[in-house]
Structure 1
Amino acid sequence: MKFLLSVCCCLITAAALAQPGIAEMQQAKQDLSNSFFSAFDFALVLAILFGTFGALQIYHNWQMGEKRMDAVVAAWFFASFFMILAGPFLRALFGI
């Protein structure tokens, strides 16, 4: 009985080591890390564009005499802030 149990354990271990796809998983991780940095740079570029476009729109509204711009300022600020924080969050999420 013990011999049969030990043989089964050895076969299960051998089957676990013979799993296909380990090289493919390493390749997928490498591809993700290569494309992630370009996505991270893209998020920073979007944050710069949101900040610049928001600043121009706020300045224009201010010059036109609009009195209550608190919501507009907060919306553009937090849009830029979200894009800046999206990169580190994704980096931590994927472990890159």
Structure 2
Amino acid sequence: MKAPFKPCKHLNLKKYTALLLLSIIHLSSNAQDGNAGIQKANTEVRSYFQSGVQLMYAVGALVGLIGAVKVYQKWNGGDQDTSKVAAAWFGSCIFLVVVATIIKSFFGV
């Protein structure tokens, strides 16, 4: 059975090490400034936060409307668990508004 990998006989350790160092130097010379990239990404992400917060408020309003209709249907149907359903829908709306407000204050948008 043959070995799966045989090192090249014509490359000795010194040549292999020099080749490896040259390739590392070449890669590092082509690297871009990491700080500038991080700052650009930070600016890009922060530019989307205001839209995201407005979207969360819109989703909260939509969930509130849907919840109001569901609670109204249960109330008219005479269901006994109307108060639990109303509390759950109201809680989800409050949660969305609180999360949007925390995101807004945390990131200073």
1:60 to 73, 87, 95: 73
Which structure would you say has the larger Rg? 2
Question: CA RMSD of the aligned region, Å?
Answer: 1.4
- Identical aligned residues as a percent: 27
Partner of 2:8: none
Matches of 2:39 and 2:86 in 1, distance apart?
A: 44
Within the candidate set 55, 59, 62, 1:42 is matched to 55
Unaligned runs of 5+ in 2: 1-32
Q: Matches of residues 59-78 of structure 1 in structure 2 within 5 Å?
A: 59-78=72-91
Unpaired runs of 5+ residues, structure 1, are 1-19
Q: How far apart are residue 62 of structure 1 and its match?
A: 0.5
Which residue number corresponds to residue 38 of structure 2?
25
Alpha-carbon displacement from aligned partner over 1:32-55 (angstroms, at most 9, x marks no partner) = 111111111110011001100000
* Structure in which a larger fraction of residues adopt helix: 1
Runs of 4+ in 1 over 3 A off after TM superposition: 92-96
Give me the TM-score of the superposition, normalised by structure 2.
0.63
Aligned amino acid, residue 100 of structure 2: G
Cα distance in 2, alignment partners of residues 32 and 88 from structure 1? 17
Distance (whole Å) between structure 1 residues aligned to residue 104 and residue 72 of structure 2:
34
Q: Secondary structure at the match of 1:67?
A: coil
Structure 1 residue matching 2:103: 3-state secondary structure = helix
* Aligned residues of 2:50 and 2:104 also touching (Cα < 8 A): no
- For the 8 Å contact 2:60–2:93, the answer to whether it is kept is yes
2:105 equivalent to 1:85? no
